[in-house]
Structure 1
Amino acid sequence: MTTGMPTPQPSDRPRRSRLRTFLPLGIAVWLVLEIWLLTVVAGEAGGLTVFLLLVAGFVAGCVVIKRAGRRAFQSLNEALQRGGSPERGGGNGFLMLGGLLLLIPGLISDAVGLLLLIPPLQKALSRYTERTVDRKLRAATPGSFGDAFQQARIHRPDGKIVQGEVIRDDRNEPGDTSREQRPPLTR
């Protein structure tokens, strides 16, 4: 039965990003590896050892997340008392991620979580992430989130931010020819 609507051609569909294509596969492979590694370690060292490793990882993750949360709250408090804004990042993001990975049951996630707790690795990943985000925002297409972010930071030449709102008065009185209709402004 045909509906009279043309079927979309493959070239009409937007291309799927690599992340959306490979992320589900990567998560599935990661889960299979975690389960396989747990069974291998349980076969060699015993089930009680694996259970104790998982509990130790969970407790360590809780401690790390609590410490990172306290540090973030303390830096926010200090910044507000100074009257400034909190410093960007501060290293708590990767500390929180490391704690979260320690909380997730599995030996591979625990190893990656422990790696994220190493300060030089945190700083290197933080710099890389900041550069990548800045590059992606600059390369964003017009009309996207990056463009809106850029527009939100528009200042006057003297550095002042002009706040205001646009009020449209679309009411044309009958016989009033003083206002002519204009097309909307575009770039």
Structure 2
Amino acid sequence: MTTGVDPGPHPVRPRRSRLRTFLPLGIAAWLVLEIWLLTVVAGAAGGLTVFLLLVAGLLLGSLVIKRAGRRAFRNLNEALQRGTAPTRGGGNGLMMLGGLLLMLPGLISDAFGLLLLLPPVQKAVGGYAERTVDRKLREATAEGALGDAFQQARMYRPGGKVVQGEVIREDGRPGDTSRETGPRPPLTS
């Protein structure tokens, strides 16, 4: 089905990042390694032992997530009662990630989950993650990428229809023109 409109030359797609290229391969390798390790342990210790290890990881992970969630909620509640902004960090996010890794079936994910529960590892990983996020945000704002992304998404939708409009407030604040103009006509193509 052709519309008779020539869209012009096809835009050149940007190169895929290394993360998008290798992440699916890494996840597949991790899953194969987890399954292989479970079969090795099942051969050495028995299937019941592997089942009990998986159930223990599930229970321990849910306990860790519940505890970290309660602590995060308690910190938020205390900050709101004091009238201050909640403090960053505290390790709750990394504890929840460690609990989630414990809940996933597999021994490698359990080992990483247990590592994330150790305070020195939490401090190191948390510091690295915070520095990385700050650096990426500085790079994005220096290039103007965040503001430009929203502008480009609105203006350059391939095959999409751009509808120009304005915001009309209906809550009685200044700029409310809905009462003056009456009902708006429907959009037509």
- TM class by smaller structure: 0.7 to 0.9
User: For residue 186 of structure 2, what is the aligned residue in structure 1?
Assistant: none
Does residue 1:96 correspond to 2:92, yes or no? no
User: For residue 27 of structure 1, what is the aligned residue in structure 2?
Assistant: 27
The list of structure 1 runs, each at least 4 consecutive aligned residues, that deviate by more than 3 angstroms after superposition, is 3-9, 145-148
After superposition, the Cα gap between the structure-2 partners of 1:47 and 1:91, relative to the gap in structure 1 and judged at 3 Å, is same
- Residue type matched to 2:43 in 1? G
RMSD in angstroms over aligned alpha carbons? 2.7
- Residue type matched to 1:17 in 2? S
Structure 2: where are the runs of 5+ without partners? 151-172, 178-189
In 2, Cα distance between equivalents of 1:55 and 1:131:
36
User: For residue 142 of structure 1, what is the aligned residue in structure 2?
Assistant: 144
In the comparison of the two structures, how many residue pairs are matched?
A: 150
Question: Contact 1:97/1:113 (CA < 8 Å) preserved in 2?
Answer: yes
Q: TM-score, normalization: structure 1? A: 0.72
After superposition, the Cα gap between the structure-2 partners of 1:19 and 1:50, relative to the gap in structure 1 and judged at 3 Å, is same
> Which secondary structure does the structure 2 equivalent of 1:59 belong to?
helix
Question: Contact 1:101/1:112 (CA < 8 Å) preserved in 2?
Answer: yes
Q: Which has the higher helix share?
A: 2
> Which secondary structure does the structure 2 equivalent of 1:139 belong to?
helix
Question: Contact 1:100/1:113 (CA < 8 Å) preserved in 2?
Answer: yes
CA drift at 1:13: 1.4
Question: Contact 1:98/1:117 (CA < 8 Å) preserved in 2?
Answer: yes
CA drift at 1:166: 9.8
Seq. identity, %: 70
- Residue type matched to 1:129 in 2? A
After superposition, the Cα gap between the structure-2 partners of 1:69 and 1:120, relative to the gap in structure 1 and judged at 3 Å, is same
After superposition, the Cα gap between the structure-2 partners of 1:166 and 1:116, relative to the gap in structure 1 and judged at 3 Å, is farther
1:36-75 counterparts in 2 under 5 A? 36-75=36-75
CA drift at 1:6: 6.9
1:73-92 counterparts in 2 under 5 A? 73-92=73-92
Question: Contact 1:61/1:99 (CA < 8 Å) preserved in 2?
Answer: yes
CA drift at 1:32: 0.2
After superposition, the Cα gap between the structure-2 partners of 1:48 and 1:15, relative to the gap in structure 1 and judged at 3 Å, is same
CA drift at 1:19: 1.0
1:114-133 counterparts in 2 under 5 A? 114-133=114-133
Structure 1: where are the runs of 5+ without partners? 149-164, 170-187
> Which secondary structure does the structure 1 equivalent of 2:13 belong to?
coil
Q: TM-score, normalization: structure 2? A: 0.72
**C-alpha deviations, 1:10-60, integer Å up to 9, x for none?**
xx2111111111111111000000000000000000000000000110010
CA drift at 1:143: 3.8
User: For residue 152 of structure 1, what is the aligned residue in structure 2?
Assistant: none
- Residue type matched to 2:146 in 1? S
User: For residue 182 of structure 2, what is the aligned residue in structure 1?
Assistant: none
